[in-house]
Structure 1
Amino acid sequence: MQKKSIWQSTLSWLSQDFAEGSAPPFLLRHRSSKWLILTTICMAVFTDIFLYGLIVPVIPFALEQRSGVPPQRTQYWISLLIAIYGAALITFSPLCGYLADRSTSRRLPLIVGLLALAGATVMLNVGNSIVALVVGRVLQGISAAVVWVVGLALLADTVGKEQIGQAMGWVGMSMSLGILASPLLGGVVYDRGGYNAVFAMAYVLIGVDIVLRLVMVERKIAVRWLPEEEKEKGDIEGGLGSPRGPDVESSPERPETEKEQPEATANTTPRTDSAASAAVPSTQRRAKLPPVLSLLASRRLLAALWGCLAQATLMTCFDSVLPLHVHETFGWTSLGAGLVFLPITIPSFLAPLAGWISDRYGPRWPATLGFILAAPCFVCLRFVTANTLHTKILLCALLAVLGLALASAMPPLMAEITYVIEAKERKRPGLFGEKGAYAQAYGLFNMAFAGGCLVGPIWAGMVRERAGWGTMGWSLGALSLLSAVPVVVWVGGFIGGKGERGGGKGG
């Protein structure tokens, strides 16, 4: 009985299920601030993605030296191990989204996900077989599903739509830094300190991450003790539990069935009681539909999800081919294979600026221009085939422009998920129920991003192996250019509609 009581107390502490009338947590105002929550989520994203990409530059050597994989099978196992991470993300993201929208706490699943990540890191560190590496990658994918779904939903709860673009810009920067800097540091540390030194970095990050997650207090919990004036600032929740009321400037693309039904305004004749009562069952039926189905009915959301899938494909494609290509072409070791990711990493610091532009002018144009800018850079990779100073400079320049393009596209697309939910809720209050659908929407985003993580390494690795480096480049360029079409047409609202503003002050 005592064990049960201790277990329940621990669970209540982790989920911050405080008893009614209890004293406020220590330093509540600071622990529940926007910036601490944003920092916590950014750190969680960075840690997860950093550990995902940490072994990219060292895995070719680890597979041969630790797992006994023959050199001719190295490319196959590199692509497969990276893709397994994406497959686990796709599998567990919808489940995490469904459970998170029905959970009373966002912090508890975040801590559970971190424990899974720690287990995955140990498996990848001490394992010396293919089976251990595969299990470690699966656990990493499960942890990532929790971090991305629950973490982004918590961020949307906290900052609201007015600042969600800039917040997603910081998350996008953290993601870009993690996914692109991890091969850089992994290669350098492996070259200087060996395999265990690489994972020592991982353990340090996990330690910092768990401290932040334990310190953080969710705003919906902190509201019990915060002064009334803080509640009135709209600084408590950006979620659907506290609707902001109609916002005609932010009208989304609506399904055709909605467009056929004119909306009542203050200047129209009020409906009769019979008409109003007839509309109630229809609204109730809509509210009973699973939120995922309502979300997937939006072409605007589907366009954003496609953009996320394409962006993740273009971002992760280098993980399976770039270290191997520079090794074969320039004779670079793991140190050079890690340093070559630096040009594509530095531009990711501009992601918050792209998010700010999205908040102010809408998500359409920064995302579209990012895809258009990336296309010719991928095509021009075909010229990086000789071991000369000119081609080395060209490769770094192309990677730098690609980094800028990818950093411009991702934050607006991530913010668009929130814009769509808020716009749909304004049109049909109560559509997603009392607890909203942020986690389920970001579960869909996570599936799209995971699809890119799955497709990117396999696409690049297999095309390079069978058709060559040049074909790989122009095929990815074609994907980037084609992806700009649905983004420019539907992201932020249908381009031919009126007032298709995405959530900022312009479209």
Structure 2
Amino acid sequence: MSRGHQQERDAPWAHGWRSSDTFIISTMSLALFTDELLFAFMLPLLPTVLEQRIGLDPSLTQRYTSIFLTEGAIVSVVASPFIGSIADAVSSKKTLLLTVLILALISLACLSLTTHLIWLFVGRFFQCIVSQALWIVGMATMAENLGSEHMAKIAGLSSILTAAGTTAGPLLSGLLFGAGGYWCAWAGAGAFLLVDIIMRLLMLEKPVKSSGVQDGEREPLVKNNQPGANGEQPDHPPCVEVRGWRFHVCLFQDARFSAGIYCSFAYALLIGCLESTMAVHVRSAFGWSAVQVGLLLGLIQGPGILLAAPVGWMKDRVGSRIPTTVGFLMSVPFIVLLGAPGDDRFSFAAEARGKTIFVGCMAAIGCLLCLLNGIGSIEATETIDELEAREPGKFGSNGGYSRALALTSMTWMAGLMCGPLLAGFVMETFGYFELQCCLGVVSFTAGLVALLFLNSRRSHAVKQQQDE
């Protein structure tokens, strides 16, 4: 009794709600939302910064806007593995997250105060690193505190927050700029960061699950569960920690992880191609304006926002194999058919019927693609769990969630970058229909990879029962 009272006395103030799942989810959700909001917040203000504060000719605004956005994608791809390694090397994610938020304030100040072009790109550089760090560490923190068995729901929540932040960022920026001017807009962004910092200071992390290295009491229990086939395994392999490039080799040797990475890349490639070519195609084929393009983009993004929660719940129950396979394979006919309207070779898709076909295919693709949400993150965290269960301590005392999630983030950004490049090359060389045929092949191969190499949660349960 006295020991229990002593523990209660030593516990931090309000330990119960500060370390609760609800508060951890709320804190990380605000972090992810703020990350996306700040990443898109700059777009409406960019012409003002370039033309009025830096003094560039208005004819150069579009060029430097494109460079500004491209810099963000490149920095995100290159920085991801380094951020993941640092995050797994640090035992306290809370300290790392606070450091990242302070860097976010510095990058925000750099972007808002700049009067020289070089400082604009320096600020963007640090903003991109901070953005990647917030996503990787935020997702890893939720996976560590809630368990990877909830990763599909976490990924669904992340999709909703990403879409909400991306939408709210330019909207809030424009409203604040119109209401109070330039500095009022930046003050709104700073307020989000300050609230985020306060919640991060209040949040208490749960103890990280033991990996078999530093927990003397649990280590023998973990080892006793291991020796099934070879009798001498418990004493030697489990404590060899995998670091550096060997960590990445180890993960990619796992067929499930490699399949998840490929599916994530294919998903991002599809999104990048569809969104980068839609405006030009519908303008030339149907004479549609930006209003119709915005509605079509809503057909792609909207179902993912609405269905993210139920899809995440379903994946946590049945695994990602079946939903991912269905999402990719059933998208193929709609993706190919999307290229027929506006093409003179297909008389059945002419005039008004072609517009109906195009809109219908886009809606169907949007609904099916929502089945792919979080595919890379889910497979990454569950692969780490499986490898750790077989060899405790393989990825160090802090685990390998952050490094694995960094790989999925890098793959996703690479897919979004490659999509417009592929689309531009194929459309200029061949045409829109041929591009959709290429995307159909990509979707079909990704579906086969998912069917052959991803595992269902049900099959894992059967294996565990057989092992026991």
| Residue 295, structure 1, aligned to residue 251, structure 2 | yes
Q: Please list the CA deviations of residues 309-336 of structure 1 after superposition, one character each: whole Å capped at 9, or x if unmatched.
A: 2222333445545566667765645x76
1:231-380 counterparts in 2 under 5 A? 237=208, 240=211, 264-265=227-228, 271=231, 276=232, 280-285=235-240, 290-317=246-273, 320-322=276-278, 330=287, 332=289, 338=294, 340-347=296-303, 348-380=305-337
Whether the aligned pair in 1 keeps the contact of 2:300 and 2:362 (CA below 8 Å) is yes
Report the equivalent of 1:155: 142
Q: 1:40 and 1:186 mapped to 2: Cα distance?
A: 21
Report the equivalent of 2:387: 424
**TM-score for both structures, normalised by structure 1:** 0.70
Q: 2:169 and 2:440 mapped to 1: Cα distance?
A: 23
Whether the aligned pair in 1 keeps the contact of 2:177 and 2:185 (CA below 8 Å) is no
132-141 or 478-487, which deviates more: 132-141
Q: Please list the CA deviations of residues 423-450 of structure 1 after superposition, one character each: whole Å capped at 9, or x if unmatched.
A: 1122222222322211121122222122
Q: Please list the CA deviations of residues 156-177 of structure 1 after superposition, one character each: whole Å capped at 9, or x if unmatched.
A: 1111133232222212332344
Q: 1:310 and 1:122 mapped to 2: Cα distance?
A: 36
| Residue 106, structure 1, aligned to residue 93, structure 2 | yes
2:442 to 474, 479, 485: 479
| Residue 171, structure 1, aligned to residue 171, structure 2 | no
Percentage of pairs with the same residue: 25
| Residue 447, structure 1, aligned to residue 414, structure 2 | no
Partner SS state of residue 430, structure 1: coil
* Pairs aligned (count): 439
Q: 2:180 and 2:333 mapped to 1: Cα distance?
A: 38
Q: CA deviation at 1:144?
A: 2.3
Q: 1:349 and 1:425 mapped to 2: Cα distance?
A: 34
Q: CA deviation at 1:85?
A: 2.0
| Residue 215, structure 1, aligned to residue 202, structure 2 | yes
Partner SS state of residue 341, structure 1: helix
Whether the aligned pair in 1 keeps the contact of 2:39 and 2:169 (CA below 8 Å) is no
CA change 1:165–1:476 in 2 (3 A) is: same
424-433 or 393-402, which deviates more: 393-402
Whether the aligned pair in 2 keeps the contact of 1:184 and 1:339 (CA below 8 Å) is no
Amino acid at match of 1:173: I
CA change 1:325–1:25 in 2 (3 A) is: farther
**TM-score for both structures, normalised by structure 2:** 0.75
Q: CA deviation at 1:150?
A: 1.3
Q: Please list the CA deviations of residues 348-369 of structure 1 after superposition, one character each: whole Å capped at 9, or x if unmatched.
A: 2312222221221111111222
Q: Which runs of 5+ in 1 are unaligned?
A: 1-19, 221-236, 247-262
Amino acid at match of 1:351: A
Q: 2:169 and 2:444 mapped to 1: Cα distance?
A: 27
Partner SS state of residue 162, structure 1: helix
Amino acid at match of 2:247: P
Report the equivalent of 1:234: none
Q: Please list the CA deviations of residues 405-436 of structure 1 after superposition, one character each: whole Å capped at 9, or x if unmatched.
A: 33211234322212111111222222223222
Q: CA deviation at 1:146?
A: 0.8
405-414 or 154-163, which deviates more: 405-414
CA change 1:49–1:299 in 2 (3 A) is: same
Q: Please list the CA deviations of residues 264-288 of structure 1 after superposition, one character each: whole Å capped at 9, or x if unmatched.
A: 43xx7x84xxxx38x7445555667
Partner SS state of residue 397, structure 2: coil
Q: CA deviation at 1:474?
A: 3.7
Partner SS state of residue 422, structure 1: helix
Report the equivalent of 2:397: 434
CA change 1:288–1:414 in 2 (3 A) is: closer
Whether the aligned pair in 2 keeps the contact of 1:187 and 1:337 (CA below 8 Å) is no
Whether the aligned pair in 1 keeps the contact of 2:329 and 2:443 (CA below 8 Å) is yes
Amino acid at match of 2:399: G
Q: Please list the CA deviations of residues 29-79 of structure 1 after superposition, one character each: whole Å capped at 9, or x if unmatched.
A: 1121112212222332233234434567897999899854759x95x7666
Report the equivalent of 2:4: none
Whether the aligned pair in 2 keeps the contact of 1:168 and 1:415 (CA below 8 Å) is yes
Higher helix share: 2
2:378 to 415, 423, 426: 415
Whether the aligned pair in 2 keeps the contact of 1:94 and 1:447 (CA below 8 Å) is yes
Report the equivalent of 1:93: 80
Report the equivalent of 1:492: 455
Whether the aligned pair in 1 keeps the contact of 2:38 and 2:169 (CA below 8 Å) is no
Q: 2:309 and 2:211 mapped to 1: Cα distance?
A: 24
Partner SS state of residue 89, structure 2: coil
1:193-212 counterparts in 2 under 5 A? 202-203=189-190, 205-212=192-199
Amino acid at match of 2:31: A
Q: 1:49 and 1:178 mapped to 2: Cα distance?
A: 5
Q: 1:435 and 1:122 mapped to 2: Cα distance?
A: 33
Q: 2:388 and 2:308 mapped to 1: Cα distance?
A: 28
Whether the aligned pair in 2 keeps the contact of 1:322 and 1:337 (CA below 8 Å) is yes
Q: Which runs of 5+ in 2 are unaligned?
A: 1-6, 344-349
